[in-house]
């Protein structure tokens, strides 16, 4: 079965979950607002609902690998942990995170750890700070962690976008 993509994909950022960086390897001024060229990528426009930042919509995890994997997911919103879960995913299995985080725009980061490996993170800045962002986290066919973004389905729009496997780490 083949899927079509409506959105973007990227490898998850490796390294210290407390480090301010984005998934394209860019440098940050400590606020997480700089892109790969070291220039400010934050937006002067308001996010959803008139608040500054990005609305985090759905977060789904899927295991596309032939082996079972365990993934830990932490969602920090405006510096506070709002969600922390562990998912033991058999081959081909997936899960949708229960949305325990605020449903208004703000600053967030999603911290992921695959099979007790090093934590990786994803932020709205990794995706050019859209007004709203859904994330699909996959364990790809090679057993590597990959994130995909969608800004037009679920809480972010009326569309029913689908995802396909993106770039691996």
Residue 14 lies in a domain: no
Residue 47 lies in a domain: no
Residue 27 lies in a domain: no
Least confident of 11-15, 45-49, 117-121, 137-141: 45-49
**How far is residue 97's CA from residue 75's CA, in Å, rounded to a whole number?**
10
**How far is residue 147's CA from residue 24's CA, in Å, rounded to a whole number?**
12
Least confident of 19-33, 53-67, 77-91, 130-144: 19-33
Which CATH number does the domain housing residue 58 bear? 2.60.40.3110
**CB-CB contact of 26 with 162 (8 Å):** no
**How far is residue 40's CA from residue 31's CA, in Å, rounded to a whole number?**
10
**How far is residue 12's CA from residue 10's CA, in Å, rounded to a whole number?**
6
Residue 10 lies in a domain: no
Residue 19 lies in a domain: no
- Count of Cβ atoms closer than 10 Å to residue 33 Cβ: 19
Beta strands in 23-159 (DSSP E): 55-63, 69-77, 80-89, 94-96, 108-114, 120-123, 132-139, 145-150
Predicted pLDDT of residue 153: 87
- Domain around 143: 54-156
Residue 11 lies in a domain: no
**Confidence label for 78 from pLDDT (cuts 50, 70 and 90):** confident
Question: For the chain, how many structural domains are there in total?
Answer: 1
Predicted pLDDT of residue 149: 93
Predicted pLDDT of residue 55: 93
Model confidence at 15: pLDDT above 50 = no
Residue 125 lies in a domain: yes
């Amino acid at each position: 079965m083949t899927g079509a993509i409506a959105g973007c994909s990227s490898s998850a950022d490796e390294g210290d979950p407390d480090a301010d960086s984005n998934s394209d390897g860019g440098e940050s001024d400590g606020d997480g607002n700089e892109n790969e060229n070291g220039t400010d990528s934050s937006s002067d426009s308001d996010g959803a609902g008139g608040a500054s930042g990005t609305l985090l919509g759905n977060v789904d995890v899927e295991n596309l690998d032939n082996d079972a994997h365990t993934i830990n997911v932490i969602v920090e919103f405006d510096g506070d942990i709002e969600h922390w879960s562990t998912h033991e995913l058999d081959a081909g299995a997936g899960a949708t995170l229960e949305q325990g985080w605020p449903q208004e725009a703000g600053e967030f980061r999603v911290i992921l750890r695959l099979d007790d490996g090093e934590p990786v993170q994803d932020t709205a800045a990794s995706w050019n700070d859209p007004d709203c962002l859904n994330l699909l986290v996959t364990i790809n066919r090679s057993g590597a962690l990959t994130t995909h973004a969608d800004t037009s389905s679920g809480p972010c729009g009326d569309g029913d976008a689908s995802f396909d496997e993106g770039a691996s780490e």
